[in-house]
Amino acid sequence: MESHNKKCSSKKHEEKEAIFYCPECRIYMCNKCDSYHTELFQEHHQYNYIKNINSIFTGFCFEQGHLDKLEYFCKNHNQLCCSACIAKINKNGKGQHKDCNVCIIQDIKEEKKNKLKDNIKCLENLSKSLDESIKKLKILFERINKNKEELKIIIQKVFTKLRNALNDREDFLLSQIDIKFDDIYLNENIIKESENLPNKIKSSLEKGKKIETEFDDDKKLNSFIYDCINIENNIKQINSIDKKIKNNDFINNDCNIMFYPKEDKIECFLEEIKSFGKIENKNYLEDSIIISPNDDSTFILDQIKMNNKESIKDIKLIYRATRDGDSYDNFFNKCNEKNNIIEFIKTDNNTIFGGFTKKGFIKASNIVFKDDNAFVFSFINKKIYPVKKNKEAIRCCSCCCPQFYKETISLYHNFLTRTDNFVGKKNNDYYDGFTEDYELNNKKSNFKVTELEIYQIIFE
């Protein structure tokens, strides 16, 4: 449907925008044409084209230059059209539907009426579905905003610590300058003390000569002894200061204390600061020594999210074979009855595979159970193998560590030292999608485990 911006129908004013429309004359008019039209045809209905456009064109064609009623329906374009639209000759904006499957409006009435019922049901369902989607969207938006603000606070805390550490280091180094220079070189106290030395020498000399002439007066002996001690202490202090003044370290030598690194050598450190920190998608498996930060594990998480209404809050490492031990008891001490479990296995031929179970593993003598959310995966092939409908997924027994049933993935006790752990063939009755024998382990049946990690997913 074209724009409603029409031009005046008068050839003299065809560049002017239409303001009015007369349905009886089927013409568009500018202000000047409308004034003439009103005088000539007072009984005609004149509509303000801009204000009343919806009511004017309810039954008339919207196409530019078409002034006929909408009496036909184009099935090809699902559109009402007029006689000009279906004209045999396609010229001057007419005949756009001349080659289409066209019928009169009455012929399409029942079909549209029946479809309207379906559309009403569809709209009702959409309304309910949309309400739920909007609620979820709002919750998601709130969660995202909360996460955004939490990240800002974390970054502010980290950089506050960095700034405080830099400020503390700066204060420490500035204090060290005073200590170093005061210990080794001249300081302000020595200057002040040295300025007082001539007077101290003069006063001590005068007092000493005076005492010397009166020393035989026993009545003043205590006072004379006290003054003698002061003169001796003054001489020690004067000699000490004089020694410092004459010290070659600061009289004859230049200052040899410096700050390292030098100012022109700190560019590397500044570059590290510029690149410090990153904002990126959360790496849930950052603790893994099987999966590196650059490895793409999203295909596993996407499969888990697809079967869960709640979003993933965190993924925690709960067991690592080389850290926690590979015996039956070692395994179940960490993993017994934990749900939402991802298992990663790395083998001696550098292949990585594993599986997910929502129900988890149970320490039992012999038990097999279903888990409709379970799947195994090949990390190298980025491929998911879901459990088949109504089939058992997990087997737990005392003779081996838990299995993805049946013999899809089997690990024995002390699997880090055994070479007879194994994966199944392609004709698997329990997990779907295998096209080759031993597909999980790069076409090899048996393997030795070099590392095994178990993670538990925490949902919101």
Segment-wise mean pLDDT, segments of 10 residues, the chain, 460 residues: 68 87 83 88 76 58 71 90 85 82 91 89 86 85 88 92 93 87 66 77 85 81 86 86 66 67 81 82 84 86 85 91 94 93 95 95 91 94 94 90 90 93 93 94 94 93
Instruction: Say how far apart CA 431 and CA 428 lie, in whole Å.
Output: 6
End-to-end CA distance of the chain: 48
Q: What are the C-alpha distances in Å from 160 to residues 35, 129, 155, 157, 275?
A: 76, 46, 8, 5, 17
Burial tier of 108 (Cβ tally within 10 Å: 0-12, 13-18, 19+): middle
pLDDT at residue 50 in the model? 64
Model pLDDT, residue 27:
85
Spatial separation of the C-alpha atoms in residues 387 and 391, rounded to whole Å: 7
In which element (H, E) is residue 171 found? helix 105-184
Query: Tokens representing 331?
Result: 């395994």
Which pLDDT score, from 0 to 100, does residue 3 have? 47
Residues 6+ apart with CB under 8 A from 345: 352, 353, 354, 409, 411, 449, 451, 452
CA–CA gap between residue 81 and residue 78 (Å, rounded)? 10
What are the Cα distances from residue 441, in Å, to 179, 316, 374, 393, 455? 66, 25, 19, 19, 21
Q: What pLDDT is recorded for position 219?
A: 81
**Assigned token pair, 322:** 């080389």
Residue 18 DSSP class: P
Task: Output the six-digit token pair for 357.
Answer: 């179970």
- Residues 373, 348 contacting (CB under 8 angstroms): no
| The pLDDT value given to residue 351 | 95
- The predicted structure's pLDDT at residue 75: 92
Provide the pLDDT for residue 54: 54
Structure tokens at 425: 């063939």
Pairing label, strands 47-48, 27-29: unpaired
Cα atoms in the 13 Å half-sphere on the side-chain side of 408: 31
- C-alpha distances out from residue 229 to 39, 235, 241, Å: 133, 10, 19
Q: In this structure, are residues 323 and 453 in contact, taking their beta carbons and an 8 Å threshold?
A: no
Kind and range of the H or E element at 135?
Answer: helix 105-184
CA angle 199, 202, 205 (to 5 degrees): 145
Q: Which residues contact 412 (CB under 8 A, 6 or more apart)?
A: 399, 400, 401, 418, 420, 421
**Residues in the chain, how many?**
460
